[in-house]
A and B are shown apart, each in its own frame.
Chain A
Amino acid sequence: MQLYVNIAVLASIYALIACGYVLIYRVSRVLNLAHGELMMLGSYLLLTTASLFTGHPYLAFAAAALLALVVGALVYLFLLRRMTGEMVLAAVLTTVALGILLRGVMVLIWSASQQYPREALGWANPAIALPGGARISTFALLLILSTAAVYLSLFVFLRFSRWGIRMRAAGQNPLLAAQRGISLHGVYALAWGLSTFTGGLAGMLLAMDSGLDGTMVVIGLKAFPAALVGGLDSLVGALLGSLIIAAAEIFLIHHVDPLLSDVVPFLVLIAMLVIRPWGLLGTKEELDRV
């Protein structure tokens, strides 16, 4: 039973991170390899707002989430906007370089030692007993719930809201979308903002559950196979991919070798790339556009 709970927690972590990859890729065909760093930046922002608004943990949390949204949009406006229309690979390498830059800056500002934003906010993290003898920490449960909420609202947003429809249109055919008066830069900036927001949310919840240090980037990178296995342009796919990756990881760690933890997602990724490169639910012609 505990095993299944662990899978559910890990899957929702991956899913919450992976939807950031999917959002940006679906809208602008850019693979954001700085997602792990942006997610870590979100949780460091929480650390700062926690010390700014002492005594108001909810306010601090909301401020950090809002800041993450703004940071994502700024990253697009000041950096990636210049790479629009360039070779896709150049844009991807720019995100890689941005990731390195962010990592250095974060160590400079917040130091590399392990931090605990939950203590700074003054929240406790008691374990909750589930039927069947399994236990789950409060923030892990919160993580599952917020993943569900984020996915639900993203579905509604993309399907029914004006900006969501604009985003889908820009992803399907940027030229036509621009011709119809959709501001591509606005849509892309929104995608970056939302992606950083969800990533930052994942980072904050994860940091509150288990502390904050440099290893968070690795988790961010391990969520990427989840996005690709499901199909880089499909949100449902990201959910499915996260479940597969998390299940494979937990089972192999449990039954074979704990050292496998960092490599399992990538093994699944390779298998997927060999069999069905566009992912479980991705669109097939994606491949030739790259």
Chain B
Amino acid sequence: MSKSLPRASGYFRTSYADELPLVQTTLQRLSLKAVLLALLVFPFFATSFQLDLACQVFLAAIGALSLMLLTGYAGQVSLGHAGLIAAGAFTAGILAKELNAPFWVTIPAAAVVGALLGVVFGLPSLRLRGLYLAVSTLALHFVVVYLGGEYETKRGYSTGIVVDPPKLGGFELIDGRLWYFVMLAFAVGTLLICLNLLRGRTGRAWRAIHSHETVAEALGIGIAGYKLLAFVVSSALTAVAGALFAYYRGFVSVEAFSLFLSIQYVAMVIIGGMGSLLGAILGAVFVTLFPYAIENGMRLLPGAEKLAGAVFAVNYAAFGLVMVLFLVFEPQGLVGIWKRLQSYFVLWPFKHRPLASGRR
């Protein structure tokens, strides 16, 4: 973990063990507590619409975090994220529909299917890099979606599979508030998995592969194994998100997993900021809430009724525009803005860090 700026003023570690704790300073501990408290209290004041938004954000955050592991840390590009989400959703949907499997079976099953698919998605990465790898994941996305569509038509669910709400400890999980806590638990769990992977040997290996493959290999890192591991972990987490999505919506259909969804996840990673878990979460929040913000903004415009039909297209165009703007003007993403803000206040009244301290 690179030292963040506030700690640059005199906080020094004296042993390797000091590096390990996830929460290191009092300020961090306090803000963590505040955030947790806010997250726990939020559902008791929120409307059902806000709860739904929060659940969508948590779902997107799981997907974005897992894509960040793969792309932001291990450096393996994937344009097939929606295919993995579809795989998880279809695993949960098919198991629940055909075998009446309960929640606690379908979720791990989705993770297993995701992990297996991760191997498939990852195998090309052993030979291909960059662009070609992105293209191969894109192609696999189409294959997965095709298989899902094939299942739907062959079994006669041409409009999609209806998934009954899961039962947890005897009662059905329908209530929005209950869903909120389930999603929160899964999202926090994913975050912890990512944090732990990244501060250990695995995370260091991934970062080494990202920086320079040949050097990483010379350092004794098994490139093939760690690349595949990145794909497997990321895909398993994504598939779990997909299974949750299936239960949450109560409905699985291939139409939901278009290429656009993959691009949305890539956008989360880019808009949030490459190589940062905080970025993944910020990106997930941004991309999920963005269409609702546009919709509300359009309602304020004169002649709102006439524009109602165009909301979808405006959303599309605005999303593309924002993505272009971030790529061109702010490649570091929201995290980049946040870091600049931090250093502005730390360095104030100066604009630049003095040369003597050298490192960022």
Contacts and interface: CB of A to CB of B under 8 A. Distances in A.
B320 A104 contact: yes
Q: Identify the interface centre among A96, A224, A287, A288: most chain B CB within 10 Å of its CB.
A: A96
A83 B146 contact: no
B139 A270 contact: yes
A266 B142 contact: yes
Nearest to A37: B320
Contacts of B149: 259
Contacts of B138: 266
A263 B142 contact: yes
A103 interface: yes
Given A93-B327, A263-B146, A228 B263 contact: no
Contacts of B139: 225, 266-267, 269-270, 273
Interface stretch (A84-92, A121-129, A135-143): A84-92
B128 A287 contact: yes
Interface string A140-163: 000000000000000000000000
B323 A97 contact: yes
B132 A101 contact: no
A104 B140 contact: no
Contacts of A31: 131, 135
B331 A90 contact: yes
Contacts of B320: 97-104
Nearest to A94: B327
Given A104-B313, A104-B319, A88 B324 contact: no
A262 interface: yes
B132 A273 contact: yes
B172 interface: no
Interface string A204-239: 000000000000000001001100100000000000
A277 B127 contact: yes
Interface residues of B, number: 42
A89 B317 contact: no
Interface in B87-142: 124, 127-132, 134-136, 138-140, 142
Contacts, number: 125
B132 A100 contact: no
Contacts of A180: none
Contacts of B310: 107-108
B266 interface: yes
A52 interface: no
A82 B135 CA distance: 23
Contact of A273 (B135, B153, B267, B328): B135
B22 to A, nearest CB: 31
B350 to A, nearest CB: 30
A79 interface: yes
A103 B312 CA distance: 11
Nearest to B259: A221
B130 A88 contact: yes
B200 to A, nearest CB: 27
B131 A89 contact: yes
Interface string A266-282: 11011001100100000
A260 interface: yes
A259 B146 CA distance: 8
A229 B7 CA distance: 52
B316 interface: yes
B23 interface: no
A278 to B, nearest CB: 9
B131 A290 contact: yes
B314 interface: yes
A273 B128 contact: yes
B46 interface: no
Contact of A228 (B77, B135, B146, B313): B135
Interface of A: 31, 79, 82-83, 86, 88-90, 92-94, 96-105, 107-108, 112, 221, 224-225, 228, 257, 259-260, 262-263, 266-267, 269-270, 273-274, 277, 287-288, 290
Interface of B: 77, 124, 127-132, 134-136, 138-140, 142-143, 146, 149-150, 153, 259-260, 263, 266-267, 270, 310, 312-321, 323-324, 327-328, 331
Interface pairs A-B: 6 shortest CB-CB: A104-B317, A101-B320, A104-B316, A100-B320, A97-B323, A107-B313
11 contacts: A31-B135, A88-B130, A94-B328, A96-B263, A98-B324, A100-B316, A101-B320, A104-B313, A104-B317, A112-B313, A270-B143
